[in-house]
Amino acid sequence: MQKHAALLVIDVQPDFCPGGALAVPDGDAIIPLINRLAPRFETVILTQDWHPADHISFASSHPGKQPFEMIELPYGPQVLWPSHCVMGTPGAALHPELDIPHARMILRKGGNRLVDSYSAFLEADRASKTGLDGYLRSLGITDLYLCGLATDFCVAWSAEDARAFGFNATIIEDACRAIDLNGSLAAAWAKLAAAGVARISSTLPA
């Protein structure tokens, strides 16, 4: 892979895999593929969803509310999730089967109790930066390839923001899995196409 390309591996964590707190169907099935893709990239960035136990995106932080209900927060609509990826817990770790020793950076997001962060670039207030854009820019990266969990939330928001920050962005579709909540997957692909995000299959031999 070219020097100016990087692989973003989004939120491959036990809590998003079968048996986890916010399990994405078949979420762990992408791990062997990601392990085979990663050596093609000199620059690999791993992200971790990483929340305090009383995070505002958790249904448990809103008495009377159930997981997967929507609420309005100062920054806009928010899905309420089961408590997941609580900082320091085993479910929030990088998945133990990920085998990417040359990963250059591990980015944690969602640490502000009052603001969710699906995107690896910008928190849900659409104003607070994670710093990833500057990091990538300083390395001369122009092209991003994205994989991980979940296609329709953290992968989609990260890819859309990558475009907004001026990067070329390509989602490796078979190296992602979706939550698909109330049509969220189709809605995400429509937004991604409009944002100029490309969509490919890894086409790797088994």
Q: How far is the CB of 76 from ligand VGL (least distance, A)?
A: 15
Among the listed residues 28, 109, 116, 133, the single catalytic one is 109
> Which residue shows structure tokens 């939120």?
11
Provide DSSP, 154-175: IIHHHHHHHHHTT-EEEEEEEE
Among the listed ranges 2-10, 44-52, 88-96, 163-171, the one in contact with Zn ion (CB under 5 A) is 44-52
11 is catalytic: yes
Report the distance separating Cα 180 and Cα 201, nearest Å.
19
Task: Please report, as ranges, the residues that interact with ligand VGL according to CB under 6 A.
Answer: 11, 16, 49, 81, 118, 149-150, 153-154
Q: Which is nearer to Zn ion, 45 or 141 (CB)?
A: 45
**What minimum distance in Å lies between the beta carbon of 135 and ligand VGL?**
20
Give the neighbor-by-neighbor strand order of the sheet with 198-200.
Answer: 105-109, 43-49, 5-10, 143-149, 168-177, 198-200
Minimum Å distance from CB 154 to Zn ion?
8
Rounded Cα distance, 65 and 86, in Å: 19
Selecting among 17, 85, 147, 154, the annotated active-site residue is 154
Per-residue tokens: 180? 């698909």
Residue selected from 49, 123, 152, 161 as contacting Zn ion according to rule CB under 5 A? 49
Shortest spacing between CB 129 and ligand VGL, in angstroms: 18
Q: 145 vs 157, which CB is nearer to ligand VGL?
A: 157
Stretch that binds Zn ion, among 42-50, 131-139, 170-178, 191-199 (CB under 5 A): 42-50
Tell me if residue 154 is catalytic: yes
Give the residue among 46, 40, 45 at the shortest CA–CA distance from 3.
40
Please state, in angstroms and as integers, the Cα–Cα distance from residue 199 to each residue in 44, 105, 177, following that order: 19, 24, 14
d(CA 34, CA 42): 14
Binding site for Zn ion (CB under 5 A): 49
Residues labelled as active-site residues:
11, 109, 154
